Structure 1
């Protein structure tokens, strides 16, 4: 076995183990699953969730979208496709509307069965005092100053978040598998290890807060951990097979995943955090902190 292949397999195993480690911290530690703790406990959980929101915002704007636009532009240019219609943006819009339509279908089916589980508005109406009029439990009315509606995170939206991040992880793995130098493999692998550790921790926090069953949380984290290794394996296979349309198919899937991620970030994660009353400036600070951490990692390469 040549040394380059050994390096890629080592990167595959390292990504798998580290992702599992960071993913199972929120899933297995009871502190993250407790929604009936003290006011300080709920505040800290809310701030961690805001930090995760900032991480996802940075991943969306600084990582997923730029990577996709670069890849699709390179493919269109290589194939000498010249068209005034904004094809890259249209593909992202297709991903956005796919999630929107699927979610509306799911909600409509639930309403037809008379279920109230998913009928709370995405952005709850609030009065001047900042109290929510949604259907979720209002902790302020029971003497608390922090309102964290843990049911506002839809399990369906959490699944779509998991799906979009999983697709992106496959593409990150592809970036490793397609490299042809040892130094480049190690460089990209280290960057993805740091990036993915923060992402999987944030994803696990969101899954736990969505009241997803522990078995399903473990399944999600396990599957997510395997996505980058699968991408590495596909990349190794592609370098051997020399598929002509492989890069174009990858770019289109990246665009659909980017549109999905835009929907989840701006219509689910951030609205939920910013429309829960209490500690507003502190929440914005932690969103900015999460964004800054990911921006710094991107700047450092």
Structure 2
């Protein structure tokens, strides 16, 4: 099998592996839901969690070895070639410079994505908080009105009283009229009643205003509880947006990872990088798929996202293949292109290794010794493979 066929096969394998691990959380969720016994579900979840953690730890060691033992020396080699062609004449660490550019490219891309996520989430929280406060105040005021007017029939503007009550009130009125003075007119009675009603209305309005002010004057603890309730209970489009932006950022990673493979000049190098990148990408795709499932996205949305992520690395491999076929390997322009592209790819993997994989391992508290052993195992495996493979 020649080098072109090898790159095409590797690209197809990448697409298949990434898609399978991306939709695997859906299958696992269905599998867990079939079991009715809670204890069995917990055991299965713990087993799956342990397996994924161990696989990620192993992938961290693999990426560490790939970055320092394989890709960095490759970039340095092509920088030396450029110096032979006379393109680079100064004694400057150009390989480290290009790798750093790749590192900061991914770093700033993810920072921009995180800024967009935080900005959208903050706006959503404020809108949901205002809506919740208004709804609570409206509900409380409606309850108070219902309690005060519970004896008024629906659609009636006056209180409905029975015949016996009216007759009793009429007798009391006849008794009181005997003791009214002559100058006690009907207007005086009406004014007195109006004044009493107005006083009661004013008192009611004053009490309602005080209640509204007290409700609006929420303490910091209540605000925190409301925000936590909104975050935990409400599944909004902002969660799906967050997953989408995260997929865009990971797509940049995947394209450069594919470029690193597509630019290789030997079959051994291709399979070496394929093993390293596929272990890492499989675990990452599983985690991303799990987050999308938790966000409540529809099955069609999950498939679209996974297809996007599955196609990025094969696209990078094909792009690297096209670059290697468009020029002679011995020209300075080709060496310069390889230095730039593979240097950016190395910076990308360096960022993933330290800011994503190893940082995640340091934050975990379970299975510490087991994870450390598998990190060392991944590094050892790739170091042994590098010893067998060095050379074109």
Structure-1-length-normalised TM-score: 0.69
2:277 to 195, 199, 207: 199
- Aligned equivalents of 1:163, 1:32: Cα separation in 2: 27
The answer as to 2:101 corresponding to 1:71 is no
Once the two structures are superposed, residues 127-156 of structure 1 have per-residue CA deviations (whole angstroms, 9 ceiling, x without a partner) of xxxxxxxxxxxxxxxxxxxxxxxxxx9876
> Which residue matches 1:228?
317
Higher-helix-fraction structure: 2
- Asked if 1 retains the 8 angstrom alpha-carbon contact of 2:19 and 2:307, the reply is yes
**Structure 2 SS opposite 1:38:** helix
TM-aligned CA deviation for residue 191 of structure 1: 4.5
| Structure 2: tracts of 5 or more residues without a match | 33-41, 125-241, 293-301
TM-aligned CA deviation for residue 165 of structure 1: 4.8
- Asked if 1 retains the 8 angstrom alpha-carbon contact of 2:257 and 2:277, the reply is no
> Which residue matches 2:343?
255
TM-aligned CA deviation for residue 286 of structure 1: 0.9
**Structure 1 SS opposite 2:121:** coil
- Asked if 2 retains the 8 angstrom alpha-carbon contact of 1:200 and 1:221, the reply is no
Once the two structures are superposed, residues 89-108 of structure 1 have per-residue CA deviations (whole angstroms, 9 ceiling, x without a partner) of 22222222222223222222
Larger of the two Rg values belongs to structure: 2
Change (3 A) 1:235 1:91: closer
- Asked if 2 retains the 8 angstrom alpha-carbon contact of 1:166 and 1:227, the reply is yes
The answer as to 2:354 corresponding to 1:266 is yes
- Aligned equivalents of 2:311, 2:67: Cα separation in 1: 23
TM-aligned CA deviation for residue 245 of structure 1: 1.9
Moved over 6 A (4+): none
Once the two structures are superposed, residues 141-197 of structure 1 have per-residue CA deviations (whole angstroms, 9 ceiling, x without a partner) of xxxxxxxxxxxx987677555534533433433334xxxxxxxxxxx3255235404
- Asked if 1 retains the 8 angstrom alpha-carbon contact of 2:260 and 2:317, the reply is yes
- Asked if 2 retains the 8 angstrom alpha-carbon contact of 1:160 and 1:264, the reply is no
Once the two structures are superposed, residues 223-271 of structure 1 have per-residue CA deviations (whole angstroms, 9 ceiling, x without a partner) of 312433442333222139x865232122022222222222221111111
- Aligned equivalents of 2:384, 2:365: Cα separation in 1: 29
> Which residue matches 2:204?
none
Larger relative contact order (CA 8 Å, sep ≥ 6):
2
Mapping of residues 36-55 of structure 1, within 5 Å: 37-55=44-62
- Aligned equivalents of 1:69, 1:158: Cα separation in 2: 31
Instruction: Please say which of residues 21-30 and 155-164 is displaced more in the overlay.
Output: 155-164
| Structure 1: tracts of 5 or more residues without a match | 1-5, 118-152, 177-187
The answer as to 2:247 corresponding to 1:167 is no
- Asked if 2 retains the 8 angstrom alpha-carbon contact of 1:18 and 1:193, the reply is no
- Asked if 2 retains the 8 angstrom alpha-carbon contact of 1:173 and 1:230, the reply is yes
> Which residue matches 1:275?
363
- Asked if 2 retains the 8 angstrom alpha-carbon contact of 1:52 and 1:287, the reply is yes
Change (3 A) 1:215 1:290: farther
- Asked if 2 retains the 8 angstrom alpha-carbon contact of 1:195 and 1:294, the reply is no
- Aligned equivalents of 1:88, 1:191: Cα separation in 2: 19
Structure-2-length-normalised TM-score: 0.55
